[in-house]
């Protein structure tokens, strides 16, 4: 008997190993038109267990799902990488698409079979069959062969098309709801119960209460702030507070608490909540007055609205507790503020603005493997631009970020003409610079060209001094020709040149290249003050603000010979800018290689700091550094969450260098941090980074996903001796310093790597 049990045990092990090997040979992370989990079904916003194959065409009206809006979508996947394998690259792929589960199970490909394609492309693979039909369910799978394995067919992914299709249109997932229970239920007075959900979210509430009679009335307050053990009934600015009288019915009943519509954030420019979710408001605390019964967690349910978000996709931890808390605040912010399905400014207006979208977009890319919401927001803003000059110009930065992170160029191809108009070349004067102070900006032709009916004006930063008690513009002097505006104009024009090249407009790309070179020279000739070694705020101004210097540095207009002088000035000014401008300040600092000052600015603890929000018990980032800096600020602005992208992109150092992470750089700038652990999602899979920095050595452990390469470098510490030794996976490598005083570790392929720099060899 023992012999047969042993044989059975061995057989089970063999089957398990075979299944595990098979799983390692399958593509995962399938995306349809940049949509993850396209086959998921929801009812009233809640995920259900049904699959699309279980429904007939007439049943879909009762559910929410990610309707694919392109009749010719693209497909992406994560190339499989076996345990212990290195330098895995895709050799071939084969996609099969069917319109019924039976054919799909056999990977028949009767709608489209790509055939075996000898290509490494694993993202943004274009559909090649006849146009897909509206209101129809499809199933697709992919078989991938690499240089390490022949591969297996992936699991089948289902998706359903929308009722109206175009060859290309933005697809996106529906907004959903999650049920959440409180973390604290406390009796603060005999008939007052105080409830804390631990974090704020955009939500409605549901209470299950018991009453011995009809018409007993209790009072329910909900809000974002608390004071003296109660929900703060007079919060600052547009921090939310609601109070409702609730008549009870005899017996035990469940009562929905739906926030009232706000006139301002449900106006004609605002993004509205879908009917299947209903109205929501940002809320963390609840207070029930007049109720004498006992409440359990299950009696108080918060229905939180979000765009689908994988909170486990990204991770960061270091030996700096303040930095960790800032990361967590900013990461959660991106999830919590996704409730409207499009990037908005905050709950006060719920209007999409380019400046908010740009920061939100980068933060979303670094905290979740999600790209559809960012693209939807980008294209929404192409049709609904906002009034600040620089923000109109930022449309090109947003569109280029979309391409660099997804590798999918269709949005740029479809919107090239409007993106070209958004460079504002039509406002250029004889001196080569743009200005918004003449009648051109008021002409019907100009407004039609940029799809904006109002008047644009330069903003620099917000709030501005003079318009509010505390300005965030460092006393910037606006002139007819402003340095910050023309810095964004240069960046937009240089990106348009790359877009022209990408879309095979070669002649136009050459012309734009020449225009960029001329604008670069005109910018420096007109705005640089050679006596002071700084950039002026504008022509006719002798003021040198932080903004006039950090924006040109971040946007690529400062010659290398001037960088250190500009950095020296930036260091002298501190954070005299808003949470919005801080995104570009941090990019300027880290792109210039000053990670010591970068870490100092990320973790400082004065009023103008991210830690100030943590100290004030914030769980979603503020619109401004503190209440004193903006009298009407709200407490749910994702543009305050810049560390959610700055930390992964610069402290951890993971950034794409080719579209869709075909290649990347991994160049940590961890300054004095001794230990860093991080996971950053990419469209090709997660990058894992582990840093141990001691007085004797610097160790960087990496896990790089398949089908990509990484240019890796280490900080060149002052501890390096002539006998310092570099090794990769135990193999000694010649030490090579780069021009930016880093240690070049070369190009690495996929797999696990340990790079060790011994400061003095034994």
pLDDT tens readout for residues 148-180? 999 899 999 999 999 999 999 999 999 999 999
Q: Where are the domains of the chain?
A: 22-166, 176-306, 315-651, 660-758
Q: Which pLDDT score, from 0 to 100, does residue 672 have?
A: 96
Whether 262 and 231 have beta carbons less than 8 Å apart is answered as no
- Give the confidence band of 723 by pLDDT, cuts at 50, 70, 90: confident
CA distance 582 to 546: 11
User: Which H/E stretch holds residue 712?
Assistant: strand 709-715
Chain centroid, CA 88 distance in Å: 28
Q: Tokens 């529906």 map to which residue?
A: 174
pTM, rounded to two decimals = 0.95
CATH code: domain 176-306 is: 2.60.120.260
Average pLDDT, the chain: 95
Q: Which pLDDT score, from 0 to 100, does residue 467 have?
A: 64
Average pLDDT on 343-351 reads 97
Q: Which pLDDT score, from 0 to 100, does residue 466 have?
A: 65
CATH code: domain 660-758 is: 2.60.420.10
Which of 176, 171, 235 lies closest to 202 in space, CA to CA?
A: 176
Whether 605 and 615 have beta carbons less than 8 Å apart is answered as yes
Long-range contacts, stretch 182-188, CB < 8 angstroms, 24+ apart: 182/286, 182/297, 182/300, 182/302, 185/295, 185/296, 185/297, 185/300, 186/229, 188/229, 188/230
Chain centroid, CA 502 distance in Å: 24
Q: Which pLDDT score, from 0 to 100, does residue 760 have?
A: 80
Q: Which two tokens stand for residue 13?
A: 């092990």
Q: Which two tokens stand for residue 636?
A: 């749910």
Whether 680 and 657 have beta carbons less than 8 Å apart is answered as no
Same fold, 22-166 and 660-758: no
Chain centroid, CA 332 distance in Å: 11
Average pLDDT on 418-447 reads 94
**15-24, 621-630, 742-751: the lowest-pLDDT one:** 15-24
CATH code: domain 315-651 is: 1.50.10.10
Q: Which pLDDT score, from 0 to 100, does residue 463 have?
A: 84
Q: Under CATH, to which class is 22-166 assigned?
A: mainly beta
Which of 269, 203, 264 lies closest to 237 in space, CA to CA?
A: 264
């Amino acid at each position: 008997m023992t012999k047969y049990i042993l044989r059975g045990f061995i057989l089970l092990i063999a089957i398990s190993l075979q299944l595990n090997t098979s799983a390692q040979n399958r593509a995962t992370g399938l995306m349809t038109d940049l949509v993850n989990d396209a086959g998921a079904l929801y009812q009233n916003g809640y995920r259900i267990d049904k699959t699309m194959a279980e429904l007939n065409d007439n049943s879909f009206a009762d559910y929410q799902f990610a309707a694919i809006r392109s009749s010719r979508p693209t497909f992406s996947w994560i190339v499989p990488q076996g345990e212990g394998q290195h330098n895995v690259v895709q050799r071939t792929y084969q996609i099969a698409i069917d319109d019924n589960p039976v054919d799909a199970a056999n990977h028949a490909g009767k709608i489209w079979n790509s055939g075996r394609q000898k290509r490494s492309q694993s993202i943004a693979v274009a559909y090649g069959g006849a146009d897909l039909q509206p209101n129809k369910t499809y199933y697709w799978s992919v078989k991938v062969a690499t240089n390490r394995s022949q591969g297996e067919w992936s699991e089948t992914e289902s998706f359903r098309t929308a009722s109206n299709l175009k060859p290309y249109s933005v697809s996106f997932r529906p907004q959903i709801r999650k049920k959440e229970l409180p973390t604290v239920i406390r009796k603060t007075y005999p008939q007052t119960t105080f409830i804390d959900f631990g974090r704020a979210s955009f939500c409605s509430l549901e209470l299950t209460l018991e009453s011995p009679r009809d018409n007993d009335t209790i009072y329910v307050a909900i809000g974002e702030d608390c004071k003296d053990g109660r929900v703060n009934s007079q919060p600052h600015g547009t921090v939310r507070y609601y109070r409702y009288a609730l008549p009870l019915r005899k017996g035990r009943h469940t009562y929905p608490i739906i926030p009232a519509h706000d006139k301002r954030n449900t106006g004609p420019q605002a993004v509205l909540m879908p009917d299947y979710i209903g109205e929501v408001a940002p809320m963390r605390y609840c207070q029930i007055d007049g109720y004498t019964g006992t409440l359990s967690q299950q009696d108080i349910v918060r229905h939180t609205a979000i765009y689908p978000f994988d909170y486990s996709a990204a991770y960061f931890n270091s030996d700096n507790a303040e930095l960790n808390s800032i990361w967590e605040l900013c990461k959660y912010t991106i999830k919590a503020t996704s409730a409207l399905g499009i990037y908005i400014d905050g709950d006060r207006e719920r209007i999409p603005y380019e400046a908010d979208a740009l920061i939100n977009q980068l933060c979303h890319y670094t905290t979740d493997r999600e790209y559809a919401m960012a693209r939807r927001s980008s294209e929404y803003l192409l049709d609904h631009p906002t009034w600040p000059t620089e923000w109109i110009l930022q449309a090109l930065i947003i569109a280029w970020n979309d391409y660099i992170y997804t590798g999918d160029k269709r949005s740029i191809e479809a919107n090239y003409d409007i993106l070209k108009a958004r460079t504002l070349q039509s406002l250029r004067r004889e001196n080569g610079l743009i200005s918004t102070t003449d009648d051109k900006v008021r002409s019907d032709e100009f407004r039609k060209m940029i799809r904006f009916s109002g008047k644009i004006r330069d903003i620099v930063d917000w709030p501005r001094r003079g318009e509010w008690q505390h300005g965030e513009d460092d006393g910037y002097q606006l002139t007819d020709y402003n340095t910050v505006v023309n810095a964004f104009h240069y960046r937009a024009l240089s990106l348009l040149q790359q877009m022209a090249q990408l879309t095979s407009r070669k002649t136009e790309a050459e012309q734009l290249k020449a225009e960029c070179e001329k604008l670069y020279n005109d910018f420096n000739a007109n705005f640089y003050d050679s006596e002071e070694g700084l950039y002026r705020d504008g022509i006719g101004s002798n003021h040198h603000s932080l903004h006039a210097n950090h924006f040109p540095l971040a946007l690529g207009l400062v010659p290398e010979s001037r960088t250190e002088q500009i950095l020296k000035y930036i260091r002298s000014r501190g954070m005299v800018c808003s949470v919005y401008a801080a995104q570009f300040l941090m990019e300027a600092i880290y792109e210039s290689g000053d990670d010591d000052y970068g870490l100092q600015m990320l973790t400082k603890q004065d009023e103008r700091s991210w830690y100030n929000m943590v100290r004030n018990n914030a769980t979603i980032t503020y619109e401004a550094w503190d209440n004193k800096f903006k009298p009407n600020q709200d407490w749910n602005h994702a543009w305050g969450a810049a560390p959610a992208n700055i930390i992964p992109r610069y402290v951890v150092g993971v950034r794409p260098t080719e579209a869709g992470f075909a290649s990347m750089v991994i160049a940590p700038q961890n300054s004095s941090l001794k230990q860093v652990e991080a996971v950053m999602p990419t469209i090709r899979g997660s990058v894992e980074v582990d840093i141990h920095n001691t007085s004797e050595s610097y160790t960087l452990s990496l896990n790089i996903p398949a089908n990509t390469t990484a240019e890796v470098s280490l900080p060149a510490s002052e501890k390096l001796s002539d006998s310092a030794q570099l090794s990769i996976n135990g193999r000694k490598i010649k030490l090579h310093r780069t021009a930016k005083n880093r240690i070049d570790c070369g190009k690495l392929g996929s797999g696990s790597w340990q790079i060790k720099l011994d400061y003095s060899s034994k």
